[in-house]
Structure 1
Amino acid sequence: MTSPAGVPVPPAPRPPARGAWARVRHGALPFGSLLLALALWQLLAASGTWSETLVPPPARVWDAFVDVSTTHDGVRGYNGTYLIEHLGISLRRIAIGAGVGIALGVLFGLLMGTVGWMRSLFEPWITFLRTLPPLAYFSLLVIWLGIDEEPKVTLLAMAAFPPVAVSTTTAVAAVPTSLVEAARALGASRWDVVRDVVVPSALPETLTGVRLAVGVAYSSLVAAELVNGLPGIGGMVKDAANYNNTPVVLVGIIAIGVSGLIIDGLLLRLERAVVPWRGRA
């Protein structure tokens, strides 16, 4: 850039980048909210309004976390199993159960979204299942399948199935007719239309349904492990609650919540990688 007299003029200084501050704020706000929650928790426990059995201070919960994560006084973790092992067993149940439910939900969603009579046939049943709380049919699953892994995995699959089926059906039905007709005009078969037009168009909403399904499966975890749930993080919470062991209950709840946040974050990253055009087109 030059002045009217032909003398070069140095460029104006750029304003400081806002990206660094945005990143710092993005990380500082959750950390600050965590510190605030811990401070309020400590004040509530120290106020004496409730006994430590009901509201233990953070230090006692930390001690319980250390106890269930290590071997102490000859006792290995909680009920002979470390916390990470309890969590791993529950995550395996969720992976199998929610995985089956998600796969069936995607399949039924594609079928109901493309075949009108199948939607009329199955949608009322899926809505009926979606409105049922897990405890409403878990006892029936125990009667049918016993008290081993089968009723737990089946419950998680039944909890994860409706959100994916509903979101996929809605997304498939909302695919623009012009795209489908254009593909058919170019000679695409029915399978080609589903593979190249319907699935990519429905994928963003389907992935949202997958995230919801995993969340519903997580919220059903304790219910799934009510019977013969040890080892398992939900079973640990239930067993500790039977003995008013509030610190261990809180450790289990925090472990479920933190692992759920991590899994949801991974699913969100997967969604951004698979459908990068979402929100931009």
Structure 2
Amino acid sequence: MSVSLDAPPDVTDPSPPPAPRRRRLRLAAHRVGLPLLSLALFLGLWQIAAASGTWNETFVPYPSTVWKAFVDFSTTHDGVRGYQGYLLWEHLYMTLRRVAIGVVIGVVLGVLLGLAMGTVSWIRSLLEPWLTFLRALPPLAYFFLLVIWLGIDEAPKITLLALAALPPAAVATTAAVLATPVTLVEAARALGASRVQVIRDVVAPSALPETFTGIRLSVGIAYSSVVAAELFNGIPGIGGAVKDASNYNNTPVVLVGIFAIGFSGLVIDGLLRALERRVVPWRGKA
């Protein structure tokens, strides 16, 4: 009988096989490398367009000019504090505050309306045309009316953002409630569940994934309406700063404001997606 002198395999080796490690590296490269590549490509094309001389620098400023405007916007320089006396973060804070209040009001009302419209047919018939009417209106169409009714302080701005956020949340919630599997509802009723229990334990969890989609749409639409909301008495506020800078053809400051709105919107959407993954972990799995 022969005895093998080969060392037994190390079954306790924690290192993963090469293939999964390569897949993780490739995934990380896609998630980080591709966005960085697209950003570098964008900046390169922007620099080429500005240096070509095809457009006046008022229309297409150099990236370095916009960076200087960002630094000036964010600091106190030559005795001037930011833009119109407020730093960039102070403008952004006021804008986010308005958006947050407006979105919370609009989303809460929209979700409640959606639940009511999805479960009671006559409420749906009564309110659906008005929601469609409101959803079709651009914010500027009724903002001036809100200014006449509510003045130029915070009330018309927050009301505008709430009205912009309400229809997507209501429509998404209504559709999600109507799409609840009938078999689940009937099974709950057969087990003796009341109407409130069916809505709370069956309909609401089933509608939650699509409701989150509506909430994300509401936030995006409200955020895209913020410049309109800050047309009057919007300083401090990013939209107000953009509007004021555009009056003087101050393109670098306008671009800084646009980038601030866009990047903060990306962060907010990322936070909403993370919250959705935590609150609705079954989405796409059931």
Same fold (TM over 0.5): yes
What is the rounded CA distance, in whole Å, between the counterparts of 1:227 and 1:181 in structure 2?
53
Q: Secondary structure at the match of 2:19?
A: coil
Structure 1 range deviating more: 21-30 or 159-168: 21-30
Equivalent position amino acid for 1:225 in 2: E
Deviations 1:27-78 (A, max 9, x none): 1000010000000000000000011111000000000000010001101100
Q: Secondary structure at the match of 1:16?
A: helix
What is the rounded CA distance, in whole Å, between the counterparts of 2:31 and 2:233 in structure 1?
42
What is the rounded CA distance, in whole Å, between the counterparts of 2:168 and 2:250 in structure 1?
34
Q: How do residues 193-272 of structure 1 correspond to structure 2 at under 5 angstroms? A: 193-272=198-277
Aligned to 1:175: 180
- 1:8 Cα shift? 10
What is the rounded CA distance, in whole Å, between the counterparts of 2:180 and 2:18 in structure 1?
44
Q: How do residues 65-84 of structure 1 correspond to structure 2 at under 5 angstroms? A: 65-84=70-89
What is the rounded CA distance, in whole Å, between the counterparts of 1:160 and 1:278 in structure 2?
23
Equivalent position amino acid for 2:62 in 1: P
**CA RMSD across the alignment:** 1.5
What is the rounded CA distance, in whole Å, between the counterparts of 1:171 and 1:14 in structure 2?
43
Aligned to 1:28: 33
- What fraction of aligned residue pairs are identical, expressed as a percent? 70
- 1:279 Cα shift? 0.8
Q: Is residue 275 of structure 1 aligned with residue 280 of structure 2?
A: yes
- 1:222 Cα shift? 0.2
What is the rounded CA distance, in whole Å, between the counterparts of 1:61 and 1:119 in structure 2?
49
Q: What TM-score, normalized by structure 2, do the two folds share? A: 0.94
What is the rounded CA distance, in whole Å, between the counterparts of 1:52 and 1:184 in structure 2?
68
Structure 1 range deviating more: 80-89 or 16-25: 16-25
Q: Is residue 44 of structure 1 aligned with residue 49 of structure 2?
A: yes
Deviations 1:149-172 (A, max 9, x none): 000000000000000000000000
Q: How do residues 182-197 of structure 1 correspond to structure 2 at under 5 angstroms? A: 182-197=187-202
Q: Secondary structure at the match of 2:45?
A: helix
- 1:16 Cα shift? 2.5
Aligned to 2:13: none
Aligned to 1:4: none
Q: Is residue 16 of structure 1 aligned with residue 19 of structure 2?
A: yes
What is the rounded CA distance, in whole Å, between the counterparts of 2:31 and 2:255 in structure 1?
27
What is the rounded CA distance, in whole Å, between the counterparts of 1:117 and 1:256 in structure 2?
40
Equivalent position amino acid for 2:153 in 1: D
Structure 1 counterpart of 2:116, from 111, 136, 159: 111
What is the rounded CA distance, in whole Å, between the counterparts of 1:187 and 1:67 in structure 2?
66
How many residues end up aligned between the 2 structures?
Answer: 275
- 1:19 Cα shift? 1.4
What is the rounded CA distance, in whole Å, between the counterparts of 1:73 and 1:171 in structure 2?
56
Equivalent position amino acid for 1:155 in 2: L
What is the rounded CA distance, in whole Å, between the counterparts of 1:225 and 1:101 in structure 2?
18
Aligned to 2:3: none
Equivalent position amino acid for 2:167 in 1: P
Equivalent position amino acid for 1:30 in 2: P
Aligned to 2:129: 124
Aligned to 1:60: 65
Aligned to 1:99: 104
User: Any unmatched runs of 5+ in structure 2?
Assistant: 1-5, 11-15
